[in-house]
Amino acid sequence: MKRLLRGRTTPPPPRDPGIEAARGRVLVEESREVVVILDEDDRVVSASRRARELFEGLEEGGALPDSARRDSSVAVPYEVGGRRETLLYLRDAGDMGAYEELRAGFTASVSHELRTPLARLLALLESASLPNSDRDALIEQAQAEVGQIRELIDDVLFLSELESGREVVALGSTTALPILAEVAASLTEQGARAGVTLRVEGDPEAAIPIRPRMIRVIATNLAENAIRYAGPGASLTLSIDREDGTTVLSASDTGVGVDEEDLPRLFERFYRADRARASRGTGLGLAIVKHVVTAGGGTVEAMGERGGGLAIRCLFTTP
């Protein structure tokens, strides 16, 4: 009877306490977290470089400064070599302040953006209750406002999932041209209603390091942005090409464009140039594009001028 031979695995090298101790010191020293190790007398055994930079007077053998103790967040007690120690994770007060400011600003922006369609919805419902009103038309408009609110909520939730890491953006490499063609076909009717013509071109072999679903998210938001804002008679080209070691996914339109001073702010949440303020968009489309592209290791840029169209380019380094 033949024996089935399996691939042999090399046994791990014997554990060296000296090497493991050195490795542990490096892990603490180079950690991006604000980390401090205390002995059983609350003396500092070790601290990460970031912790020493943040808290003056933090040094090995010394007591933990009061400022650091006030900012402690998580304490993990453990025992090593018969000694009790505590691994302390500290908060960076500056980072927390910036985060709280950003969160408060985002919450205020969402609240503001919801008020407008809600106010319109309330006005439509009140009008529908008046005698001799065109209820069918008013109800149709009210349904459009509900759709606007739902779109805004969906976009906010999607951004939250991206930021919390629950959506995996980069996974392998995906050929983009077929997805661009699929997106363009799905939006042809919407583009026709706005007077915007869609077409697709580019390198059929060009690939970018993002999941197919996320490429679809990028292309859809770029195309819908042009359909909303380019203006009647404009054309939009979705393309994918390779340029000097970089793969570029772009959306270029021949529409009304934007003022030069608006270009750097197009990717801000809820930001709209003057002409776009009357649009029913959520103001989050390009912010989502930037977040997805950045999470996939790429960068975004906007080019154009008033009356000269707009081009949004997503650039990825070709491996």
- Does pTM top 0.75 for this prediction? no
The answer for residues whose C-beta is within 8 angstroms of residue 187's C-beta and 6 or more apart is 198, 220, 223, 224, 227
Q: What is the pLDDT of residue 146?
A: 81
Query: For every one of its 319 residues, what pLDDT tens digit does the chain have, with 9 covering 90 and above?
Result: 444 444 444 555 566 666 766 666 677 676 667 778 888 888 888 888 777 777 777 778 888 777 666 555 677 787 777 788 887 777 654 444 444 544 554 555 556 556 767 787 888 888 888 888 888 888 888 887 787 677 667 666 666 666 555 555 666 788 999 999 999 999 999 999 999 999 999 999 999 988 888 888 899 989 999 998 899 999 999 999 998 889 999 999 999 988 888 888 888 766 655 444 444 555 677 888 888 888 888 899 999 888 889 999 999 987 6
Q: What is the pLDDT of residue 8?
A: 45
Query: How many whole angstroms separate alpha carbon 175 and alpha carbon 14?
Result: 45
Q: What is the pLDDT of residue 78?
A: 79
Q: What is the pLDDT of residue 2?
A: 41
Query: How many whole angstroms separate alpha carbon 45 and alpha carbon 61?
Result: 6
Domain segments of the chain as ranges: 18-91, 95-163, 174-317
Query: How many whole angstroms separate alpha carbon 219 and alpha carbon 121?
Result: 30
Place of tokens 């005698």: 131
Q: Per-residue b/e over 290-312, b at no fewer than 16 CB within 10 Å?
A: bbbbebbebebebebeeeebbbb
Topology of domain 18-91, CATH: Beta-Lactamase (3.30.450)
**Are β-strands 299-304 and 310-317 bridged in parallel, bridged antiparallel, or unpaired?**
antiparallel
**Are β-strands 310-317 and 235-243 bridged in parallel, bridged antiparallel, or unpaired?**
unpaired
Query: How many whole angstroms separate alpha carbon 266 and alpha carbon 274?
Result: 12
What number does CATH give the domain 174-317? Answer: 3.30.565.10
Q: What is the pLDDT of residue 165?
A: 55
Query: How many whole angstroms separate alpha carbon 17 and alpha carbon 311?
Result: 58
Does domain 95-163 match CATH 3.40.50.300?
Answer: no
* Cβ neighbours around 7 below 10 Å, total: 4
Query: How many whole angstroms separate alpha carbon 75 and alpha carbon 37?
Result: 10
Query: How many whole angstroms separate alpha carbon 197 and alpha carbon 173?
Result: 29
State both tokens at 95.
């980072």
Domains 18-91 and 174-317 equal at CATH topology level: no
Q: What is the pLDDT of residue 299?
A: 92
State both tokens at 298.
């790429």
